[in-house]
Chains A and B, each alone.
Chain A
Amino acid sequence: MSNAFEFQNVTKRFGKTVALDDITYAAPRQSVIGLIGKNGSGKTTLLRHVTGLYLPTSGDVTTFGVTAKDLGRAELSRIGVVNQHDTFLPWMRARQLLAYVSSFYERWDKDLEKHLVRILEIDTDARVGAMSPGNAQKLGLVLATCHRPELLLLDEPLSDLDPIARQDVLTALLEYFRTDNATIVISSHMLHDIERIADRIVCMDRGRLVADSSLDDLKERYAEWWVASEQGLLPARFTDAFVLSSSGNRHTARMFVKDPDAHVGAFSSKYSATVESRPLGLEAVFRLLAHREGTGAFIDAGDRGRPETEGISG
């Protein structure tokens, strides 16, 4: 099965700013991909390339096998997009906008529209320009999903929503994914929410891809260790490459490590210490991936077979 979209050595510059730096990536179909990264890491830029709103400075972007600049009706009507702060036509009422956008597509699931409008509590008689940012975001979600796209790109779709609305949106997304087996890419800072629905994680930092892995693999690959010396003193500083950061004293230490299972035995023997390993949540993993400014490239290619080049040292 071909990928939903692919980036091949894509670099995007805005003047002197490098927004995407030699990105090579393929989004597998029928997966929910969580796109995470700090502000300005290039998430929005990446998503806009997928729909052809942006064109790469160099490299190639293909969506459904078609180059981004040549995307036509056949491909674009298979994509749904929610932008962080969508600007719709403010003078329309919500129902008018729904009717207008539905006319773009050959198929428009009216039942799904009614269902989403009901569960997301959207007032369809309200003027779009008069909607709160949260309600506008919910409306954007309805507009992006009712033509049942094969590829759904969600750029910070939860940022303006309250916790209850976020829950509703996530439930709706999960329902949608189970029904249609679509590819969903969701970019968000709400990592707990991403953790609930994503099966793959792509992490970006300063325009580069620093992780691309299944969520489970990513979480297994990192761990928090609580280390207690059984005999003698622990070293003042751990120089092992798999130790990403550490703190503590010469008797006990807390550290974040990479590939814990591969190293736990040797580590215990080497330092005559007991190790208690605790799994990490996505947020903690993200901190490890992102908290490495100035340390050079650290590529976690996960199961995609790319080499690691450098570790994080505390």
Chain B
Amino acid sequence: MSALYATGRLLWRPAILITLFPLALIIALAFWDLPNATLGAANDSAARITLWRFATLVPAMFGLLLSMTMRELQHTLFAWTLPDLSRRLRLGKAVIGAVIAAGIAAAALPFSQPGLSVAVLGWSWLSFAAGGAVFDPVLSKIESRGVALIVAALAFSPLYVQRVMQLQPHVIGMLAAVTGALLMTREFGGVLARKRPLTFTTAVSGTAATRNYWAGQTQRNVEWSTDLSEGGLTSWLRAAHHEGYGGAKAGFLTMKLGQLAITVFTGFISAAPNMVVFFPWIFMDGRRQLLTMLPYPVQRSQRASLFFLSSLLDSLTAAALGLTGLGILLAAGYSFEGTSVGTSTIGLATMLLSFAAWAPVNHWTNVRGPFDKTMTAKAGIKRLALLLVYVTLAMSPGLLFRIFVPPGGAAWIGLAGFAVITHAAYWFALRRHFARADLVVPR
């Protein structure tokens, strides 16, 4: 009990709330892209497919998050002096993993015979352990990427997992559980612990690890030539773009092309057009901002305008990526099953308009992004709530279709009006924020 308490207490911090976002996203994705799945109408086979994806992604994500946080705790000079920390963390993590796996296995009972639940239990446990191994610093880049790829591939291929599991559910479930236990033992092994760097090696500004990282980087040499001394908003927008994306190894366009490829791939796998249109909105990162504490000769009100324009550019880029991705799939002759509405002009416009209407909610979560180094519990909950609202609403075009297909004039006007209202509210919120708030957070 004390091990579990120690783990929980050490892991708890308000900022961890934000990690629930990817978790929520994964849970949503697990149910999302089944072509015929609708709320309350999932057939047995669809439910099973969802179940296996769920049993892979959710524990893996939990395992990953726990390991990242535990590593931070284990490999600091302070933690080095704490007695028995590693054992307590291992035991705590094992208990958390077991609870998650048992929960998923219990959830699986209605959809499978009892034997298969054992397989789900073992599989969830293995996924939990594999998630923890993804970012193990002892693994080489190739090894850790290999683990990540396997987890992702299995998550995207639930049918294969199900077929293999059905061969010998008990045996394979047990094998998975043992493999998971071995992985976790290895993660906390003493020999490996000594091989890991003693101090945490993530990007803490000014540390030797960070300096070595940047010294080894081969960024493109992007030269800046625009004169900002008389610069208007457009010039400063370019400066913000330069700050946010100038350091990207391959450049902004290549980065977006990569995201387009992922979008197309996701559409291909999921067979859902709304997935293609939605996916690029996940990539909105709000990086096009003035990121440092340099005394930019820019008035606060101008900063608000800059932020607004940057957000609009993010939205437009996401919309363009989604449409291009869909265009590529359709041009390649890919047919989406039973979703003619989704690929019709009206359907696409409705989806885009609904995403655009909710985009300011997502942008707002970035308002303090570059500045906010700390996070209180209140701020964490607020941000999480905003994100969940956005995800829930943005991912429900299926529901919109039920209401609006074929969308009548009133629905269109309503949606467009709603988009205008959300953007106007965002604009006023930004003006208010930049007029009143501190631009940096105290250390």
Chain A interface (Cβ < 8 Å from any Cβ of B): 14, 19, 45, 48, 51-55, 69-73, 76-77, 79-81, 83, 85-93, 96, 99-101, 103-106, 126-133, 136, 143
- Cβ-defined contact, B295 with A79, below 8 A: yes
Contact with A along B432-443 (1 / 0, CB 8 A): 000111111010
* Interchain CB contact (< 8 A) of A72 among B224, B294, B297: B297
- Cβ-defined contact, A73 with B298, below 8 A: yes
Q: Do A55 and B436 form a contact, CB below 8 Å, given A14-B442, A72-B297, A103-B229?
A: yes
- Cβ-defined contact, A89 with B229, below 8 A: no
B70 CB → nearest A CB, Å: 27
- Cβ-defined contact, B295 with A80, below 8 A: yes
Give B165-222 interface residues, CB cut-off 8 Å to A.
Answer: 205-206, 210-215, 217, 219, 221-222
Chain B residues, Cβ within 8 Å of A130: 211-212, 214-215
- How many A-B pairs with Cβ below 8 Å? 116
Q: Do A72 and B217 form a contact, CB below 8 Å, given A92-B247, A101-B294?
A: no
User: In the complex the two chains form, what is the Cα distance from A223 to B109 in whole Å?
Assistant: 84
Q: Do A45 and B442 form a contact, CB below 8 Å, given A127-B214, A130-B215?
A: yes
Chain A residues, Cβ within 8 Å of B227: 103
Chain A residues, Cβ within 8 Å of B221: 93, 96
- Cβ-defined contact, A127 with B215, below 8 A: yes
- Cβ-defined contact, A131 with B211, below 8 A: yes
User: In the complex the two chains form, what is the Cα distance from A147 to B239 in whole Å?
Assistant: 18
Chain B residues, Cβ within 8 Å of A88: 292, 294
- Cβ-defined contact, B438 with A96, below 8 A: no
User: In the complex the two chains form, what is the Cα distance from A127 to B210 in whole Å?
Assistant: 11
Chain B interface (Cβ < 8 Å from any Cβ of A): 205-206, 210-215, 217, 219, 221-230, 239, 242-243, 246-247, 291-300, 302, 435-440, 442
Q: Do A90 and B247 form a contact, CB below 8 Å, given A55-B437, A72-B299?
A: yes
Residue of B nearest to A52 (CB): B300
Residue of B nearest to A14 (CB): B442
* Interchain CB contact (< 8 A) of A85 among B205, B212, B213, B436: B205
Residue of A nearest to B296 (CB): A104
Chain B residues, Cβ within 8 Å of A128: 214
* Interchain CB contact (< 8 A) of A127 among B217, B292, B299: B217
- Contacts A72-B297, A129-B210 given; 5 further ones with Cβ under 8 A? A51-B295, A70-B299, A71-B299, A99-B225, A143-B294
- Cβ-defined contact, B229 with A132, below 8 A: no
User: In the complex the two chains form, what is the Cα distance from A71 to B295 in whole Å?
Assistant: 11
Chain B residues, Cβ within 8 Å of A93: 221
A105 CB → nearest B CB, Å: 6
Chain A residues, Cβ within 8 Å of B299: 70-73
- Cβ-defined contact, A54 with B294, below 8 A: no
A195 CB → nearest B CB, Å: 27
Task: Name which of B296, B297, B439, B440 has the most chain A CB atoms within 10 A of its CB.
Answer: B297
Q: Do A91 and B211 form a contact, CB below 8 Å, given A76-B295, A83-B293, A104-B229?
A: no
Chain B residues, Cβ within 8 Å of A85: 205-206
B361 CB → nearest A CB, Å: 26
User: In the complex the two chains form, what is the Cα distance from A53 to B239 in whole Å?
Assistant: 19
* Interchain CB contact (< 8 A) of A105 among B206, B229, B292, B440: B229
A76 CB → nearest B CB, Å: 4
* Interchain CB contact (< 8 A) of B292 among A89, A96, A99: A89
A87 CB → nearest B CB, Å: 5
